[in-house]
Amino acid sequence: VEGDVRERLAQSLFDHIPVGVGTKGVIPANAKDLDEVLLSGIDWALKQGYAWPEDKEHCEENGRMMTADPTKVSKRAKKRGLTQLGTLGAGNHYAEVQVVEEVYDEAAAARMGIGKVGQVCVMIHSGSRGLGHQVATDALVSMEKAMARDGIVLNDRQLSCARINSQEGKDYLVAMSAAANFAWVNRSCMTYLARRAFAKVFDRTPEDMDMHLVYDVSHNIAKVERHEVEGVVKSLLVHRKGSTRAFPPHHPLIPIDYQFTGQPVLIGGTMGTCSYVLAGTEEGMRETFGSTCHGAGRALSRSASRRKLNYQEVLDFLKERGISIRVASPKLVTEEAPESYKDVVDVVDTCQEAGISRKVVKLRPIAVVKG
């Protein structure tokens, strides 16, 4: 991709997708819409024309947690979420234009529609924004009280918990499901904006450019699933925090399109390195309840990154690698620099060697948009 086109794509994405801390979105929504988003997930985006019908099939849970209860989401959480539909946020969230650099599994890559080296993709990493953060904060408060009542002692407040069948546990799970629905709509709206950004640069329709959704996978969610434990199939509440669902071929909960390949797993690297698409395996189903890694993972804390790294040096490094960047907050460039993270190649290779997922394609970034 030529430098001029890279720059125009980076700018167009930055113009179309609101980024940064507390940014307001361009997707109009009122309080009634928000309740419908929390209840219906991607079905709301479909109804409003932001999603393509096929997008729904390529989302984990078909883009909707049926267990969601918007009445269990606090007013404060709703207030934070109301203006944030279709926004990227800050921190490690990003929208990247990438090219396929290596194909490891030709059949699976072709099935996903990303089987050609040099093919252009867009990867978006974002979640339920301020709404989801507030749902978690609210739950920490109520669970601390529940722990005191039930005599549960922990050494870290961030690990607050409650018994699944307690009122606090039930309330959290239905509120978290609502936040997950918000996240699917948020990413769906950004997909719509990314399609528009490309359409503007190339003066072609997204359909004409074959901008179909490969997959939308959650990176932070708890779900009731059926798994085998010591020879017995049981219902478990599987928490994937900083991990990704990776179901194997022929699993009933993955799309028809991927029944023979296994579920696509999106692994984001850092803005100067590479990302991967993996697929789920049978061994992962047995060993890790159908889960694998979710990214590189931090090697330096945010404050250490700011102290050790120079903003301009990071930008120069990206430029040398042929990567265009647009960022709302300069200090974030050092926080999210490649040196701040573990090597994603090592992480992905470890997951493959452990048998819990397998490599399908490697993607190289050419344009990065961050908060």
* φ/ψ (deg, to 5) at 238: -95, 115
Q: Are 42 and 64 in contact (CB under 8 A)?
A: yes
Q: Give the strand pairing for 324-327 and 357-370.
A: parallel
β-partners of residue 94 are 125, 370
Burial class of residue 191, CB neighbours in 10 A (0-12, 13-18, 19+):
buried
Sequence-distant (≥ 6) Cβ neighbours of residue 303 within 8 angstroms = none
CB burial string 257-267: b at 16+ within 10 A, e below = bbeebbbbbbb
Calculate Rg over the CA atoms of the chain.
20
**Residues catalogued as catalytic:** 294
Burial class of residue 235, CB neighbours in 10 A (0-12, 13-18, 19+):
exposed
Helix (H) or strand (E) segment spanning residue 194: helix 167-202
Length of the chain measured in residues? 371
The runs of H, that is alpha helices, within 203-287 are 282-287
Burial class of residue 212, CB neighbours in 10 A (0-12, 13-18, 19+):
middle
